[in-house]
């Protein structure tokens, strides 16, 4: 059987002055050759790994606290603690430490915490102990001065603490407190306040155990009511005895546990409410008080967790239909506080805690509670649910998938959560925001597990989209049946914005699940109805949802958008926004700019073919003219497939040849007369003259001529550019029910500049070099001729020009040779 006497938990103090649990193991003391001395070793009980190896330094100050704790510092900011399961084990290791340091095991601290100056040491050597004045009413001022003068010196603090312990001085002081209160001796009460506050700053566990005992703690609080800096005394004892009531929702049979709960509440009250806020210099003096509360909470959670009868009764009464509403509210509040206490536990302890609650049936109990009418009970249950989701979302997911096999969709736990989010009565939707965050955690693939047998992501998302997504989107679908939102009040808009935020998250992380749902349920069309909302934040949420979809560059989504003409609400919102320079204007332009920069061909063609007439007058940015240029380039490539294939070959680095050959051919290219080139003659090495020269040169000469004409056209446009700033779009469409066909017919292929059938088309055989004025792209920045244009997208334009220049300057012999290969 395992030796429980030596079983310990290892703690370290972090930067936030909180204790971190480093693991559970068994402690021993032995000589370690590497450290050249007796050392404390702790090996993990799980795998035998070394949790702690610490040499017992003769000059280190070790403290024994609460009979089962040993605390010490190994470096300036590195505090350690061993928490023993049994007092006997703590005493045994304490004796070993004292033996190495040559100390009496009866002391609670082995060394002075801070080195004294040599002068102080010399002065204090002559007085081995501190003699306290006799505890009398007339000498309270003298005692207060002695305590205050001892605090700056660690050695004097130590001697004062030992004197207070050995003489039972605190109880005598509390007896005088009663006398002062009976006599209404305010001056004496003020002195007692200073004395008790000073004793707190001594930071000694042994003194705290006396002060926080059942018989003394209320008198200590009474002393702290008489702060000299306040004109009137505080009524802390009255609050604790009359206002604050301890309710046993389930009877606690263990008297030690009950006493520990009372003590922890009162000590926490002292720390938070009674003691004045410590100064920077006093903050570290209360570290033992923080530790006292921390370890008390750990003990309470542990004792309740081990009491199976208590927890069984708790969950039985929670789910019992016969339990009255008031009793159930008290039970839920207790469970909420119990979970809040668990936040002080370290991860491995918290894991065991929530596992215990899960085995007891906390999730089915919450399902019952959330189905009740009492708003306060539901609110507390939501807080408990948030603890569970934040710590272990997989446990919640596993439960809801199991219950789906037995229950209807309406009473599933996750659907109850969604309904509470939708029905939140708070005008600011505080509860809905919290619940939306929990749902987001549950559907986040980043925290889903994958094992050899199954993938949690696949299983849970399949369940969620089948059983829950229709509940989440119900308010959205109900509010978007017409061309504008049927309800457009602020609270509804806030709720729809929350739903859209979650759907946008799903688009980004759920790939095919959300894609199938959006396309099958026509969700995007419904969402874009909200672009007509009077609330700008909701319209922007709808636009953000579409932008996230376009950002995926998924052709399934693109075909769905084009088939349903889903750019129409966006263009309409853009035109209705007019010349206002706001977030809506910028967001819409950014979306079209993304389509241009990423060269999404299908969407580019769709926008230009259907909405160019509405957007062509927007010239304060070059986005839409840039889209038109992209569209024209696509048409050119379609009309000249040989030219397009030649470009792809030229950009393929697999056909790179020897640099010297390339240089020779370049020389031949530049020495050739241009007139010869126009006649179809090319300088090609004899070995490459296997292809008809005219077939190769015809598209190249056409391309060169078109490029020169484009450049001259751009210069003409620049000279006519209005430099006065932004211009509002002068063309607006009336998007009625018949506008789709109207817009399409206005910009159909027969009328669109650059279409294959138009007389001035670049691709028509009759005019190989003509270019419509609307196809010329306005330069983003130029200084030619002294003109300075508006700054838009210089990088993209320069890259396009560089690509074309490279193609133009490559040796024709290389083009011909590669074409023939």
Do residues 342 and 353 lie in contact, with contact meaning Cβ atoms separated by under 8 Å?
Answer: yes
Evaluate if residue 713 carries a pLDDT over 70.
no
How far is residue 547's CA from residue 556's CA, in Å, rounded to a whole number? 15
Task: State whether residue 12 is helix, strand or coil.
Answer: strand
* Helical pair 512-521 and 469-478, crossing angle rounded to 10 deg: 40
DSSP 578: T
What are the Cα distances from residue 573, in Å, to 326, 528, 540, 585, 745?
Answer: 53, 10, 11, 9, 21
Structure token pair of residue 701: 């000469």
pTM: 0.60
Percent of the chain surpassing pLDDT 70: 73
Strands 50-55 and 37-44: antiparallel
Structural fold of domain 7-101:
PH-domain like (2.30.29)
Task: Tokens 């700054």: give the residue.
Answer: 791
pLDDT by residue (tens digit) across 607-659? Answer: 999 999 999 999 899 999 999 999 999 888 888 776 555 555 555 544 444 44
Closest to 774 in 3D by CA, of 689, 716, 695: 716
pLDDT by residue (tens digit) across 588-620? Answer: 999 999 999 999 999 999 999 999 999 999 989
Instruction: Look at residue 575 in the predicted model and tell me its pLDDT.
Output: 94
- Identify the residue with better confidence: 111 or 305: 305
pLDDT by residue (tens digit) across 410-432? Answer: 778 899 999 999 988 888 888 89
Taking the CB of residue 283, how many other CB atoms lie within 10 A of it? 12
- Partners of 37 in the β-ladder: 32
Do residues 27 and 42 lie in contact, with contact meaning Cβ atoms separated by under 8 Å?
Answer: yes
- Identify the residue with better confidence: 568 or 725: 568
Instruction: Write phi, then psi, for 727 (nearest 5 degrees).
Output: -125, 135
What average pLDDT is seen over the chain? 77
Instruction: Look at residue 191 in the predicted model and tell me its pLDDT.
Output: 93
How far is residue 811's CA from residue 677's CA, in Å, rounded to a whole number? 12
Do residues 682 and 697 lie in contact, with contact meaning Cβ atoms separated by under 8 Å?
Answer: yes
Q: Which one of 75-79, 193-197, 701-705, 806-810 scores highest in mean pLDDT? A: 193-197
Instruction: Look at residue 585 in the predicted model and tell me its pLDDT.
Output: 94
Evaluate if residue 87 carries a pLDDT over 60.
yes
Do residues 626 and 620 lie in contact, with contact meaning Cβ atoms separated by under 8 Å?
Answer: no
Q: What's the distance, Cα to Cα, between the start and end of the chain in Å?
A: 83
Do residues 177 and 192 lie in contact, with contact meaning Cβ atoms separated by under 8 Å?
Answer: yes
Structure token pair of residue 775: 């196809």
Taking the CB of residue 611, how many other CB atoms lie within 10 A of it? 26
Instruction: Look at residue 645 in the predicted model and tell me its pLDDT.
Output: 58
Do residues 191 and 160 lie in contact, with contact meaning Cβ atoms separated by under 8 Å?
Answer: no
Sorting pLDDT into bands at 50, 70 and 90, what band is 297? confident
* Helical pair 693-720 and 641-650, crossing angle rounded to 10 deg: 90
Task: State whether residue 69 is helix, strand or coil.
Answer: strand
Closest to 296 in 3D by CA, of 334, 331, 256: 256
- Identify the residue with better confidence: 12 or 560: 560
Sorting pLDDT into bands at 50, 70 and 90, what band is 126? very low
Q: CA-based angle 106:112:118, to the nearest 5?
A: 135
Task: State whether residue 160 is helix, strand or coil.
Answer: helix
pLDDT by residue (tens digit) across 184-220? Answer: 999 999 999 999 999 998 888 889 999 999 999 999 9
Sorting pLDDT into bands at 50, 70 and 90, what band is 453? low
Closest to 372 in 3D by CA, of 362, 361, 360, 380: 380
């Amino acid at each position: 059987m395992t030796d429980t006497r030596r079983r310990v938990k290892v703690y370290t103090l972090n930067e936030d002055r909180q204790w971190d649990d480093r693991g559970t193991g068994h402690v021993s003391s032995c000589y370690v050759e590497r450290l050249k001395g007796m050392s404390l070793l702790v090996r993990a009980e799980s795998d035998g790994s070394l949790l702690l190896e610490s040499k017992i330094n003769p000059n280190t100050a070790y403290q024994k606290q609460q009979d089962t704790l040993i605390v010490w510092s190994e470096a300036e900011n590195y505090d350690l603690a061993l928490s023993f399961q049994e007092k006997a084990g703590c005493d045994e290791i304490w004796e070993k430490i004292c033996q190495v340091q040559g100390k009496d095991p009866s002391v609670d601290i082995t060394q002075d915490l801070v080195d004294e100056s040599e002068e102080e040491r010399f002065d204090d050597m002559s007085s081995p102990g501190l003699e306290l004045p006799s505890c009398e009413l007339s000498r309270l001022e003298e005692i207060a001065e002695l305590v205050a003068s001892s605090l700056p010196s660690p050695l004097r603090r130590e001697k004062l603490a030992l004197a207070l312990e050995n003489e039972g001085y605190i109880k005598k002081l509390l007896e005088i407190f009663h006398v002062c209160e009976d006599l209404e001796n305010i001056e004496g009460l003020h002195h007692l306040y200073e004395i008790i506050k000073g004793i707190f700053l001594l930071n000694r566990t042994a003194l705290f155990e006396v002060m926080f005992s059942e018989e003394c703690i209320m008198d200590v609080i009474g002393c702290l009511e008489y702060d000299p800096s306040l004109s009137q005394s505080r009524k802390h004892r009255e609050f604790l005895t009359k206002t604050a009531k301890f309710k046993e929702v389930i009877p606690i049979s263990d008297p030690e546990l009950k006493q520990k709960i009372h003590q922890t509440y009162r000590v926490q009250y002292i720390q938070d409410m009674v003691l004045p806020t410590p100064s920077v210099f006093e903050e570290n003096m209360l570290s033992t008080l923080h530790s006292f509360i921390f370890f008390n909470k750990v003990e309470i959670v542990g004792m309740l967790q081990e009491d199976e009868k208590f927890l069984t009764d708790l969950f039985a009464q929670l789910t019992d239909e016969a339990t009255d509403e008031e009793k159930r509210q008290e039970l839920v509040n207790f469970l909420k506080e119990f979970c809040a206490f668990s936040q002080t536990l370290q991860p491995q302890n918290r894991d065991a805690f929530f596992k215990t609650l899960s085995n007891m049936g906390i999730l089915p109990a919450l399902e019952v509670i959330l189905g009740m009418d009492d708003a306060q009970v539901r609110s507390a249950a939501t807080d408990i649910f948030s603890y569970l989701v934040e710590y272990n979302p997989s446990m919640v997911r596993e439960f809801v998938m199991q219950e789906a096999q037995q229950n209807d969709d309406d009473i599933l736990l996750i659907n109850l959560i969604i309904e509470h989010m939708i029905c939140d009565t708070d005008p600011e939707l505080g509860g809905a925001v919290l619940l939306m965050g929990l749902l987001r955690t549950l559907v986040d693939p980043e925290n889903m597990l994958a094992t050899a047998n199954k993938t949690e992501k696949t299983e849970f998302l399949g369940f969620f989209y089948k059983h829950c997504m229709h509940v989440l989107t119900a308010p959205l679908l109900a509010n978007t049946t017409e061309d504008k939102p049927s309800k457009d009040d602020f609270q509804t808009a806030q709720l729809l914005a929350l739903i859209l935020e979650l759907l946008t998250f799903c688009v980004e992380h759920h790939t095919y699940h959300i894609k199938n749902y959006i396309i099958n349920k026509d969700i995007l069309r419904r969402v874009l109805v909200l672009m007509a909302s009077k609330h700008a934040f909701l319209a922007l949420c709808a636009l953000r949802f579409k932008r996230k979809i376009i950002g995926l560059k998924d052709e399934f989504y693109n075909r769905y958008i084009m088939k349903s003409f889903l750019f129409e609400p966006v263009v309409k919102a853009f035109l209705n926004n007019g010349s206002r320079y706001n977030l809506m204007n910028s967001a819409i332009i950014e979306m079209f700019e993304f389509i241009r920069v990423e060269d999404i061909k299908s969407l580019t063609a769709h926008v230009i073919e259907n909405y160019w007439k509405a957007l062509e007058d927007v010239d304060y940015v070059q986005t839409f003219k840039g889209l038109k240029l992209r569209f024209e380039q696509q048409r050119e490539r379609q009309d000249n497939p040989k030219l397009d294939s030649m470009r792809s070959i030229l950009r393929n680095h697999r056909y790179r040849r020897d640099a010297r050959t390339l240089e020779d051919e370049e020389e031949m290219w530049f020495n050739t007369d241009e007139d010869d080139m126009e006649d179809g003659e090319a300088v090609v090495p004899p070995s490459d003259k296997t292809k008809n020269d005219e077939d190769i040169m015809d598209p190249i000469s056409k391309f060169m001529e078109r490029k020169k004409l484009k450049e001259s056209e751009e210069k003409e446009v620049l000279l006519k550019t209005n430099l006065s700033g932004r211009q509002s779009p002068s063309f607006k469409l009336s998007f009625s029910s018949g506008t789709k066909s109207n817009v399409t017919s206005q910009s159909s292929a027969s009328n669109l500049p650059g279409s294959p059938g138009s007389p001035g088309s670049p691709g028509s055989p009759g005019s190989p070099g003509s270019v419509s004025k609307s196809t010329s792209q306005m330069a983003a920045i130029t200084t030619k001729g002294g003109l300075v244009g508006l700054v838009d997208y210089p990088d993209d334009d320069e890259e396009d020009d560089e690509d074309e220049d490279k193609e133009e300057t490559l040796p024709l012999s290389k083009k011909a040779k590669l074409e023939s290969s």
